[in-house]
Structure 1
Amino acid sequence: MSGPGGMAGAPHQRSMDFKGSGKRLLAQFRPERAWLVVMLLVLVVSVGLSVLGPKILGHATDLIFGGFIGQKLPAGLSKEQALEGLRHDGQGGMADMLSGMDFTPGHGIDFGAVGEVLLLVTAVYGAAGLLMLWAGRISARAISNTVFQLREQVEAKLSKLPLSYLDKQSRGEVLSRVTNDIDNLGQTLQQTLGQLVNSLLTIVGVLVVMFWISPLLALVALVTVPLSALVATRVGKRAQPQFVQQWKSTGKLNAHVEEMYTGHSLVKVFGRQRESAEVFAEQNEALYKAGFKAQFISGIMQPAMMFVANLNYVLVAVIGGLRVASGALSIGDVQAFMQYSRQFSQPLTQVASMANLIQSGVASAERVFDILDAEEQSPEPDKARAERPAESRGRVELKNVSFRYAEDKPLIEDLSLAVEPGQTVAIVGPTGAGKTTLVNLLLRFYEVREGRILLDGTDIAAMDREELREGIGMVLQDTWLFGGTIAENIAYGAQGATREQVEEAARAAHADRFIRTLPDGYDTVLDDEGTGVSAGEKQLITIARAFLSDPVILVLDEATSSVDTRTEVLIQRAMERLASERTSFVIAHRLSTIRDADVILVMENGSIVEQGTHEALLAADGAYAGLYKAQFAEAVAEVD
């Protein structure tokens, strides 16, 4: 595993397609578009009521100020007469300012009218709040459903990915994308979607009312918008690559932790704790640096936007004061405009402050989309058109099969082979000869490059993969158990299997004896690591699982490598009985386990160099004889 040092320049190597990924993320909401339209309409009404609030409240201010001025002036005069009197007394500036206000000389504050306005404002804000709460509920529902559907898409995609994709990806990296990235995406949407729409609607609504009150002050408020956009763009471009790198580093760190936890025994046995800790520290440091840079750079956004907002506030206050002094605006209108100025700059600041969340969420979305965009295995034929063998007998034939993992590295070239029903075929050869690859091709984990593989005369490429694999039982060298009881693990090989059938399969695999010695017998609960049973016992459970599935073809890939010699002999005898009506492929390194095979194939460099029975191959004194002598140390000199 390479250290993080090699990724130092990664943020500059590939810039994330923020726009494209953002559009694709929004497209995920298509099934929820009806609810999103309802949410939008609710938000429009809610924002509209919120925007009207300051204007109505400004009217209350005018009533109070008008009453205060009116009680200072002599009764019996009209507004025009009072203003003319002020100008006659040399108070022209005061007269100009009062000319834009509504007052009646000799009348004080109309508290009844003020109370009605305040009640109206309370009702307006209350309704706006309730509608906002409803919109939030709709948003949460739409987002939860969308993330739910996205998880299902990823799960469905994983089942369609070829084995080659999973071979090239570490488990921790894939798990990080499926869990951490989707969770981060869901949290980002919950925190930003409704608020973002609300902020944008607020900007539009406030802008309309601001132009209604005073076009001049509205233009002054808009002067700072280009500056805000410039700040947001510059900071966003610098922060986005860091968020991409942050989630890459998270995936790498998770992969390392998963590997070290899975193999913690080996790490301790070989004394590699220090190296493991050093790699963890390096990757943790890379994650820290990427996360710090992403948060710090995006964190500059909010204070910068607040500075611009305060600058806008000062400009509006100064020019608004001059407009009041000239009588062009009332104090209530200026008060309302000051509130609108805050309402206008606040959503801009909110949108800017959400930039780090949005960038982080879109970065996670792109990592999830990478999985969804991965090349799938070749499409299945239509169920109705898929070919099926007329009779399941277990005859396997390979005709001129060629395969290679990499284009420039041939592995299997022009391989032909015929296996009759009921035969036990052993495949031996050095590591990398293509033994396991041959089985992977039979199961269609990989597709052949050239040639055909026939099962009972039917090309497996024309068969449905699920139907093909239903007739093949497989036991691997690496055991796989899931969290559950031993009985459930064995029954995994056949849906609806009874307890009697499970126990019968366990007895056939010689697992019954050790299972009954456990405290809860077949109901003993295992975790996914199989803690509580030995490696050999786990192997017996997986063999019992394969026996229970009652397959036409049985594949054993080093299936007895983890059991002791006595158990191995017992399994061989059981397999002889079980394989009497099955075609069996046995991949083995211990040649003592395959002496009774009907035919032994010796593979080297993807080709069959020898085939025959155990005795015939020994008599031929060829590649098989060399392997046999080397294994049993009968002729060390010959091996040399």
Structure 2
Amino acid sequence: MMGNEKVDQKLTGKSLKLLLRFARYFKRFKLLIFTGFICLVIHLLLTLIQPIISKLIIDKALIQGDIKLLNLLGILFITAAVFSYLISSLRQYIFLYIQQKVILNVRKDLTGHILNLPLSFHNYQNPGYLMARVDSDVGNLSGVMTDRYIESLLDLLMLLTASFILFILSWKLALFSLLLLPFFLVAVRYFSEKAKRLSADMQESHALTASSLQEIFSSVFTIRIFNKEKKEINGFVSRMIHYLSTNLKMVRLNLFSNLTMGIIATLAPLIVIWYGGYQVIKGEITIGTLFAFNMYLVYMFNPVRKIYGTIQSLSISMASLERIFQIFDVPPENISPVTAETHSRKSLSGSIAFKDLNFSYIKDKPVLKGISFEVKQDQIAALVGPSGAGKTTVFNLLLRLYQDFNGHILIDGIDIREMDVKLIRRSIRLVPQEPFLFNRTIFENIAFGGIGSSREDVVNAAKIAMADEFIERLHNGYDTIIGQRGAALSGGEKQRISLARALVANPKILLLDEATAFLDSKTESLVQEAINNALKDRTCMIIAHRLTTVMNARQIIVLNNGQIEDIGTHDELYSNCRLYQELCRKQFKRISKNEPL
């Protein structure tokens, strides 16, 4: 028992901290919350006065046959009831408005926070799982909204006030009717604890189900070509069955709790009518008193049921709130403070240096080991090497997508860890091997790469990327919607759109990650020509799968197992670097020192 008490205290303290953190979302709504609170107080007073009016109608107007008094009390009763509902409706609207605004702000903040989390976080998170956090968990926060606390406070006041009035009306009847209250409270505690545990299981199961569904929809092509539709559907159904099983447990709990509460709440007025009727016959109380007593008894048990509902809803919401703040507590990407040296900079010149760079995605499994080389301003450098050599990792570190590396990466002589990451990414643009295009217009996809890019900026970038011609042939030109991931475009067209998107910001540093790796020779020629246009007056680093694309590079860095094998021009490397020779031989049938590649 002592252990359980300690656990309860720990959970209560943790929940209180979460609620205090969540409370900051309500600061801007102080006036509305106060207005809603006033509405609740007025509603409480108008509700409490109605049984007294009923008692007067029965004991004074009806028994004495006073029609004037009956009319007066009837008008007063109707007025109190109508205004009570009007005030209650206004209060509900106020708090629903606050609730929707708070949910909107939490979703906005959570989505923004997730977007700013390090790439190392996203590498191990399924997008569907994160979507469930933003969607369903935030949606469940209604149970911890301000109106619930205020209503619970006023329900407690209603309970205490009604209990006090019951004792004034008839202390014997009050004691008799309160015999069932302890059973009611025990049931409330039992069911609320069960609901909290089930809610956490249900939400986790829902997140995993959403994650599974998102993964299926994202991999339709792969599933179909491997003929795995049935297997994936069965896997999804298995998760759904687990989710539905957990859901049904919650449904059964709710049904059983409502049944238990309903029986207790129904027995109370029946006992009052039975024992109260006995008191009326004996002349100890009037019929009006019995009628008013029954109304106040409802006012006593209803708040208890509502408080139980709030506790149950709070249990569900606290599980969601805890999961939401688990994500909020993941430290965002470190945006280094801008130093005096970089404060006035709006762009970078483009010289790059790597000095004794070491990096591991997983501890004790190094990906880069002692990498050192320089790329001068407006120079073209190429990274070549077998798959897994660490080429793409070099780009990721230069863009500061990962920050826990040893050694130094310098741009214009400044360590990138001392620079504003926004300045770095504003000055560098990456054309990935498989570009992601949005289900938007071509104009929007290209303009995405800049800041406030005009139509002219987009068209100029498309012309440099040799994309303008095929875009203009489309029915809606730059206003053509290209489908999910650019489904309406060919591979070469996607690459040229991606290149235009990178160029629209006129970056000083351009990174090309095997941009022609999977293109046919004709399309590769078009894309390569577009790339050659883009290289003028900017520093460029190219990851090359096809060595013909980098033969004219000022320097070629050969990577192998995370280390630099050699650095030089094509001719120098072909003469002196065995690994480079092997890479060349794999791509060309006939190679000799006297035959050009």
Does TM, normalized by the shorter one, top 0.5? yes
Kindly provide the CA deviation profile for residues 538-563 of structure 1, in whole angstroms up to 9, marking residues without a partner as x: 12101111122211110111222343
Alignment partner for residue 36 of structure 1, among 33, 47, 54?
Answer: 33
Query: Structure 2: how far apart are the matches of 1:571 and 1:184?
Result: 49
Please name the residue that 2:594 is paired with: none
Structure 2, gaps ≥5 residues long: 1-9, 592-597
Question: One-letter code of the match for 2:55?
Answer: G
Question: One-letter code of the match for 2:398?
Answer: L
Task: Sort the Cα spacing of 1:367 and 1:534 in 2 relative to 1 into closer, same or farther, 3 A.
Answer: farther
Is 1:130 the counterpart of 2:62? The answer is: no
**SS of residue matched to 2:408:** strand
Please name the residue that 1:176 is paired with: 132
Alignment partner for residue 588 of structure 1, among 532, 544, 565?
Answer: 544
Please name the residue that 2:331 is paired with: 375
Please name the residue that 2:49 is paired with: 52
Task: Sort the Cα spacing of 1:311 and 1:414 in 2 relative to 1 into closer, same or farther, 3 A.
Answer: same
Indicate if the aligned counterparts of 2:335 and 2:421 stay in contact, CA closer than 8 A: no
Task: Sort the Cα spacing of 1:220 and 1:527 in 2 relative to 1 into closer, same or farther, 3 A.
Answer: farther
Query: Structure 1: how far apart are the matches of 2:24 and 2:427?
Result: 41
CA-atom RMSD in angstroms:
2.8
Give, in angstroms, the shift of residue 341 of structure 1: 0.9
Task: Sort the Cα spacing of 1:385 and 1:552 in 2 relative to 1 into closer, same or farther, 3 A.
Answer: closer
Which stretch has the larger CA shift, 337-346 or 401-410? 401-410
Question: One-letter code of the match for 2:251?
Answer: Q
Question: One-letter code of the match for 2:81?
Answer: Y
Task: Sort the Cα spacing of 1:187 and 1:557 in 2 relative to 1 into closer, same or farther, 3 A.
Answer: farther
**SS of residue matched to 1:115:** helix
Please name the residue that 1:63 is paired with: 60
Query: Structure 2: how far apart are the matches of 1:384 and 1:334?
Result: 81
Please name the residue that 1:239 is paired with: 195
Please name the residue that 1:563 is paired with: 519
Please name the residue that 1:5 is paired with: none
Question: One-letter code of the match for 2:32?
Answer: W
Question: One-letter code of the match for 2:31?
Answer: A
Indicate if the aligned counterparts of 1:305 and 1:348 stay in contact, CA closer than 8 A: no
Kindly provide the CA deviation profile for residues 485-530 of structure 1, in whole angstroms up to 9, marking residues without a partner as x: 2122212222343434323322322222322222122221223432
Kindly provide the CA deviation profile for residues 187-210 of structure 1, in whole angstroms up to 9, marking residues without a partner as x: 985996776555444323322322
Alignment partner for residue 306 of structure 1, among 253, 257, 262?
Answer: 262
Task: Sort the Cα spacing of 1:156 and 1:500 in 2 relative to 1 into closer, same or farther, 3 A.
Answer: closer
Indicate if the aligned counterparts of 2:47 and 2:81 stay in contact, CA closer than 8 A: yes
Please name the residue that 1:491 is paired with: 447
Indicate if the aligned counterparts of 1:401 and 1:448 stay in contact, CA closer than 8 A: no
Give, in angstroms, the shift of residue 437 of structure 1: 1.5
Give, in angstroms, the shift of residue 610 of structure 1: 1.9
Alignment partner for residue 347 of structure 1, among 280, 299, 303?
Answer: 303
**SS of residue matched to 1:28:** helix
Alignment partner for residue 419 of structure 2, among 449, 452, 463?
Answer: 463
Query: Structure 1: how far apart are the matches of 2:520 and 2:469?
Result: 15
Task: Sort the Cα spacing of 1:534 and 1:215 in 2 relative to 1 into closer, same or farther, 3 A.
Answer: farther
Indicate if the aligned counterparts of 2:42 and 2:84 stay in contact, CA closer than 8 A: yes
Please name the residue that 2:7 is paired with: none
Task: Sort the Cα spacing of 1:52 and 1:164 in 2 relative to 1 into closer, same or farther, 3 A.
Answer: same
Please name the residue that 1:362 is paired with: 318
Query: Structure 1: how far apart are the matches of 2:68 and 2:200?
Result: 60
Task: Sort the Cα spacing of 1:36 and 1:204 in 2 relative to 1 into closer, same or farther, 3 A.
Answer: farther
**SS of residue matched to 2:511:** strand
Give, in angstroms, the shift of residue 586 of structure 1: 1.0
Question: One-letter code of the match for 1:494?
Answer: G
Task: Sort the Cα spacing of 1:401 and 1:440 in 2 relative to 1 into closer, same or farther, 3 A.
Answer: same
Query: Structure 1: how far apart are the matches of 2:32 and 2:206?
Result: 34
Task: Sort the Cα spacing of 1:523 and 1:443 in 2 relative to 1 into closer, same or farther, 3 A.
Answer: same
Query: Structure 1: how far apart are the matches of 2:321 and 2:448?
Result: 34
Question: One-letter code of the match for 1:451?
Answer: G
Which stretch has the larger CA shift, 138-147 or 200-209? 200-209
Query: Structure 2: how far apart are the matches of 1:552 and 1:55?
Result: 81
Question: One-letter code of the match for 2:89?
Answer: L
**SS of residue matched to 2:366:** coil
Q: Say how many residue pairs are matched.
A: 581
Query: Structure 1: how far apart are the matches of 2:348 and 2:305?
Result: 69
Task: Sort the Cα spacing of 1:319 and 1:386 in 2 relative to 1 into closer, same or farther, 3 A.
Answer: farther
Please name the residue that 1:512 is paired with: 468
Indicate if the aligned counterparts of 2:465 and 2:533 stay in contact, CA closer than 8 A: no
Indicate if the aligned counterparts of 2:382 and 2:553 stay in contact, CA closer than 8 A: yes
Question: One-letter code of the match for 1:223?
Answer: L
Matches within 5 A, 1:390-539: 392-539=348-495
Bigger Cα Rg? 1
Alignment partner for residue 598 of structure 1, among 546, 551, 554?
Answer: 554
Query: Structure 2: how far apart are the matches of 1:133 and 1:348?
Result: 22
Question: One-letter code of the match for 1:616?
Answer: E
Task: Sort the Cα spacing of 1:178 and 1:634 in 2 relative to 1 into closer, same or farther, 3 A.
Answer: farther
Kindly provide the CA deviation profile for residues 272-310 of structure 1, in whole angstroms up to 9, marking residues without a partner as x: 111111111111111111111122223322111111212
Please name the residue that 1:87 is paired with: none
Percentage of identical aligned residues: 30
Kindly provide the CA deviation profile for residues 350-403 of structure 1, in whole angstroms up to 9, marking residues without a partner as x: 333455544333333333222222221224315878556698321111222222
**SS of residue matched to 1:376:** coil
Question: One-letter code of the match for 1:492?
Answer: F
Question: One-letter code of the match for 2:99?
Answer: I
Which stretch has the larger CA shift, 501-510 or 516-525? 501-510
**SS of residue matched to 2:519:** coil
Which stretch has the larger CA shift, 406-415 or 352-361? 352-361
Give, in angstroms, the shift of residue 130 of structure 1: 1.7
Kindly provide the CA deviation profile for residues 550-605 of structure 1, in whole angstroms up to 9, marking residues without a partner as x: 11110111222343322322333343343232111111222232222221212223
Query: Structure 2: how far apart are the matches of 1:370 and 1:208?
Result: 44
Indicate if the aligned counterparts of 1:454 and 1:460 stay in contact, CA closer than 8 A: yes
Give, in angstroms, the shift of residue 338 of structure 1: 0.9
Is 1:225 the counterpart of 2:181? The answer is: yes
Indicate if the aligned counterparts of 2:464 and 2:533 stay in contact, CA closer than 8 A: no
Question: One-letter code of the match for 1:214?
Answer: S
Structure 1, gaps ≥5 residues long: 1-13, 68-108, 636-640
**SS of residue matched to 2:40:** helix
Query: Structure 1: how far apart are the matches of 2:427 and 2:476?
Result: 32
Kindly provide the CA deviation profile for residues 125-184 of structure 1, in whole angstroms up to 9, marking residues without a partner as x: 122122112211221222122122212221331242111111211111112222233234
Query: Structure 1: how far apart are the matches of 2:590 and 2:211?
Result: 45
Is 1:297 the counterpart of 2:294? The answer is: no
TM-score of the two chains, using structure 2 as the length reference: 0.90
Is 1:212 the counterpart of 2:168? The answer is: yes
Query: Structure 2: how far apart are the matches of 1:185 and 1:535?
Result: 44
